[in-house]
Structure 1
Amino acid sequence: MEEVELSAVVAFGMEAIVVRELRALGYEQAFVEDGRVRFRGDLSAICRANLWLRCAERVQVVVGEFQARNFDDLFDNVKELPWEKWLPVDAKFPVDARCVRSEIRSVPNTQKMVKRAIVERLRKTHSRHWFAETGIEYVIEAHLLGDRALLTIDTTGDGLHKRGYRRFMGAAPLRETVAAALVKLSYWGRDRLLVDPFCGSGTIPIEAALIGKNIAPGRNRHFSAQDWPQIPQALWAAAHQEARDLEDRRSFAMPIIGTDRDREAVKTSKMNARLAGVETDIHFERKDFVEFPTNRDFGVLICNPPYGERMGDEDEVRQLHHDMGELLASLDTWSLYILTASERFEREFGKRADRRRKLFNARIPCTYYQYLGPKPPGMAAAGGEEADSENGQESPDSD
């Protein structure tokens, strides 16, 4: 089967996680560059990457890459690319553009120039002068970084964070891709207790359950490339069958727990978990954080507490961090993972993190504070380096 070059678009801080995800799928030659991970595979890779990538934003086909210092360079090189390989004669092909540190600065003019060049190419290859664009949509992106231009076609459609289960959202939702990253960057394993005391819409517990049961995050949604005639439906069917075969249907040793003081948030979490097919694996409960202390040892806390840029008063957030530090201080066998936009978190929490990692939740810059805790006795795979291999997790970095 023909090999194609692909690009997984990745948010800042997620690159190494996505490399590991791709290598776990068998795509060993995966490399990071400028907000994306490049890799190669046959047409089935388009299906499998879309179904399985938990922390990428989208998957694109790379049509070509070249040097472009001006619009003449851009037009001439775009026209030389094999667009007829991907675009049927009736294809609808809108063009998006991004210009970063490039001599070509106008996004609208870049879009027009790329569109004109593609039409010029298709006129020759399809022997037509006019294109109705009434068929399947192929979204083209021209990404100009410095004097390099990268031309891609999106295969995903709605971003990969849209799994299809979160039809109900709270006031400040955490992206599913970010929630999955928080779990993958922790030392949680399916035999350890996991608690999110600020569960909101339930995204962190749900993503943890999907990871723990090896459920493909894209199994219940549609992707743009499913409509493409270039990709046989048999490949999509095989990818979905593979996903079903690889699901781990065993119950967790302990249920994942999500709590929130908001009654509607707990109700929303339960509905989302049901839509995700993991409602029996998660226990949601209405509970204020001050009720959090537990007599269980070696648990894992992963949370995204409220922070002032999205909700809550700044003084309330400061007090919350102080209360968290006091209430969690006694849990000396626990591993704590806390994502927040607050730059004062460690000072207000009262303890310096073992590791920190910069991440973005949508466009909000955040820090993931990691308090690693000791390994559970006799459970090395759930509390140390072995967990990274088992769950496809990345050992967290310090900043």
Structure 2
Amino acid sequence: MSTYTLIATAAMGLEALVAAEVRNLGYECQTENGKVIFKGDESAIARCNLWLRTADRLKVVVGEFKAKTFDELFEATKALPWEEYLPADAEFPVQGKSVKSTLFSVPDCQAIVKKAIVERLKTKYKVQTWLEETGPLFKIEVALLKDKATLTIDTSGAGLHKRGYRIAQGGAPLKETLAAALVQLTNWHPDRPFVDPFCGSGTIPIEAALIGQNIAPGFNRDFISESWPWLTKDVWDTARLEAEDVANYDQPLDILGADIDHRMVEISRENAVEAGLGDLVQFKQMNVRDFTTAKEYGVIVGNPPYGERLGDRPEVESMYKAMGEVFAPYETWSVYILTSYEGFEACYGKQATKKRKLFNGFIRTDYYQYWGKRPPRNN
């Protein structure tokens, strides 16, 4: 087994959660803006793709170096051991980005990196004419930040938020990675009730069920690196067997997703069935104003409408006010609400115990946390 430098990319505000997941898998790591960096072998690549709930994707770092000229970029790229990653028939498109760097033309940087890799591989594989590129796919990225170039290969393919269960969605779907983060940022335990009163296509309840039964979020999908010759089928089989072994399918769950739109309730049910959780998560049509429960020590997680359009604001403000009144009697319940509406606490009628800045796509939001009374300790 070889050792690789790996980067788990993360949405802004989720780096600490991704780092905790990486450490839980047994790898020491450090965080930077938008990424978590660590070292691991081939099994780490398979395990992290299967298990990281809140990361966007996993990349292998091939090299890092300073580059202020195209010559420097070409020579330093060509000096890297590409033959250790790419077989002779590899298909390898190059993507790029440049931030605050002298080399600001991304298409030029992509073309130079591509040419340098081609030259390296032609020499190493003793190819005279051109490379066929008919084999497995390796998505390469050149990222320039303040004149430092980082060359990576994406091991995930489709983003890690694509779990494979979402067969339908509504107008403004929440990414699965953010939904998992919202659950992880609560005090919920699988033996307590969990309610999402604005479930949309069911993403938050489904992610809660996966967490509750310790099911690997990537268990139901494929990854681009499964076709690579140096990441063997044995490595993936071992990682998937481990995931199967630690899943707790016997853990009973009390999870409810509700939505005012009956069509979204049907979509949620379909998605839960696709995730293999059809019997575990309940869905029903309900207006949040009608919420009532006799249960205790539960958790409510909601991603309600934000009122981004001016015309929607009165309706949204009225709903936030109703939520505050409806949830107030349930002192043992904890409530967690994600919204971009800055006046949320005033409408809700109560200041949050804590709030955390998160980004829902490009929308800056706050996650308002209201902690309920703790359950009595068992003597």
Q: Distance in 2 between matches of 1:185 and 1:112?
A: 42
Deviations, residues 362-394 of structure 1 (Å, cap 9, x unaligned): 2222111111222111279xxxxxxxxxxxxxx
Q: Which amino acid aligns with 2:220?
A: N
| TM-score, length-scaled by structure 1 | 0.92
Deviations, residues 305-328 of structure 1 (Å, cap 9, x unaligned): 012338982222122112112222
For residue 348 of structure 1, what is the aligned residue in structure 2?
A: 347
Q: Distance in 2 between matches of 1:312 and 1:257?
A: 30
3-state secondary structure, aligned to 1:342: coil
Deviations, residues 59-102 of structure 1 (Å, cap 9, x unaligned): 11110111122322211211111111111111111111111122
| TM-score, length-scaled by structure 2 | 0.96
- 1:115-126 matched pairs, under 5 angstroms: 115-126=114-125
- Name the count of aligned residue pairs: 378
* Deviating more after overlay: 123-132 vs 257-266: 123-132
Whether the 8 Å CA contact 1:251–1:281 is kept in 2: the answer is: no
For residue 329 of structure 1, what is the aligned residue in structure 2?
A: 328
For residue 261 of structure 1, what is the aligned residue in structure 2?
A: 260
Is the aligned partner of 1:272 residue 2:271?
yes
Q: Distance in 2 between matches of 1:308 and 1:120?
A: 54
Is the aligned partner of 1:377 residue 2:373?
no
Q: Distance in 1 between matches of 2:67 and 2:33?
A: 17
For residue 138 of structure 2, what is the aligned residue in structure 1?
A: 138
Q: Distance in 2 between matches of 1:337 and 1:35?
A: 24
Q: Name the structure, 1 or 2, with higher relative contact order (CA <8 Å, separation 6+).
A: 1
For residue 54 of structure 2, what is the aligned residue in structure 1?
A: 55
Q: Distance in 1 between matches of 2:347 and 2:102?
A: 45
Q: Any unmatched runs of 5+ in structure 2?
A: none
For residue 385 of structure 1, what is the aligned residue in structure 2?
A: none
For residue 234 of structure 1, what is the aligned residue in structure 2?
A: 234
Q: Which amino acid aligns with 1:87?
A: L
Q: Which amino acid aligns with 1:233?
A: K
For residue 212 of structure 1, what is the aligned residue in structure 2?
A: 212
Residue 188 (structure 1) shift: 0.3
Is the aligned partner of 1:221 residue 2:231?
no
For residue 157 of structure 2, what is the aligned residue in structure 1?
A: 157
Q: Distance in 1 between matches of 2:208 and 2:276?
A: 13
* Deviating more after overlay: 288-297 vs 133-142: 288-297
Deviations, residues 1-53 of structure 1 (Å, cap 9, x unaligned): 211111111111111111111111111x1111231111111111110000000
3-state secondary structure, aligned to 1:266: helix
Residue 297 (structure 1) shift: 2.2
For residue 247 of structure 1, what is the aligned residue in structure 2?
A: 247
3-state secondary structure, aligned to 1:63: strand
Q: Which amino acid aligns with 2:156?
A: T
Instruction: Give the CA RMSD over aligned residues.
Output: 1.6
Whether the 8 Å CA contact 1:306–1:312 is kept in 2: the answer is: no
Q: Which amino acid aligns with 1:85?
A: E
- 1:193-204 matched pairs, under 5 angstroms: 193-204=193-204
Q: Any unmatched runs of 5+ in structure 1?
A: 381-399
Q: Distance in 2 between matches of 1:146 and 1:34?
A: 14
* Deviating more after overlay: 119-128 vs 139-148: 119-128
Q: Distance in 2 between matches of 1:122 and 1:379?
A: 65
For residue 187 of structure 1, what is the aligned residue in structure 2?
A: 187
For residue 105 of structure 2, what is the aligned residue in structure 1?
A: 106
For residue 67 of structure 2, what is the aligned residue in structure 1?
A: 68
Q: Distance in 1 between matches of 2:309 and 2:48?
A: 32
Q: Which amino acid aligns with 2:303?
A: N
3-state secondary structure, aligned to 2:279: helix
- 1:245-324 matched pairs, under 5 angstroms: 245-252=245-252, 254-309=253-308, 313-324=312-323
Whether the 8 Å CA contact 1:95–1:114 is kept in 2: the answer is: yes
Q: Distance in 2 between matches of 1:72 and 1:351?
A: 60
Q: Distance in 2 between matches of 1:108 and 1:176?
A: 32
Residue 142 (structure 1) shift: 0.9
Q: Distance in 2 between matches of 1:133 and 1:228?
A: 13
* Deviating more after overlay: 63-72 vs 137-146: 63-72
For residue 177 of structure 1, what is the aligned residue in structure 2?
A: 177
Q: Which amino acid aligns with 1:331?
A: Y
Which aligned segments of 4 or more residues in structure 1 are displaced greater than 3 angstroms? 309-312
Deviations, residues 97-143 of structure 1 (Å, cap 9, x unaligned): 11112222111111111111111211211122311212111000111
Whether the 8 Å CA contact 1:172–1:310 is kept in 2: the answer is: no
* Deviating more after overlay: 114-123 vs 241-250: 114-123
Alignment CA distance shift 1:310-1:65 (3 Å): farther
Residue 338 (structure 1) shift: 0.6
Percent identity of the aligned residues? 52
- 1:352-371 matched pairs, under 5 angstroms: 352-371=351-370
* Deviating more after overlay: 323-332 vs 221-230: 323-332
Q: Which amino acid aligns with 1:60?
A: K
Alignment CA distance shift 1:192-1:230 (3 Å): same
Q: Which amino acid aligns with 1:208?
A: A
For residue 13 of structure 1, what is the aligned residue in structure 2?
A: 13
* Deviating more after overlay: 173-182 vs 301-310: 301-310
Whether the 8 Å CA contact 2:15–2:33 is kept in 1: the answer is: no
Q: Distance in 2 between matches of 1:114 and 1:326?
A: 59
Q: Which amino acid aligns with 1:298?
A: Y
Q: Distance in 2 between matches of 1:56 and 1:120?
A: 34
Residue 293 (structure 1) shift: 2.7
Whether the 8 Å CA contact 2:190–2:251 is kept in 1: the answer is: no
Q: Which amino acid aligns with 1:180?
A: A
Q: Distance in 1 between matches of 2:355 and 2:54?
A: 18
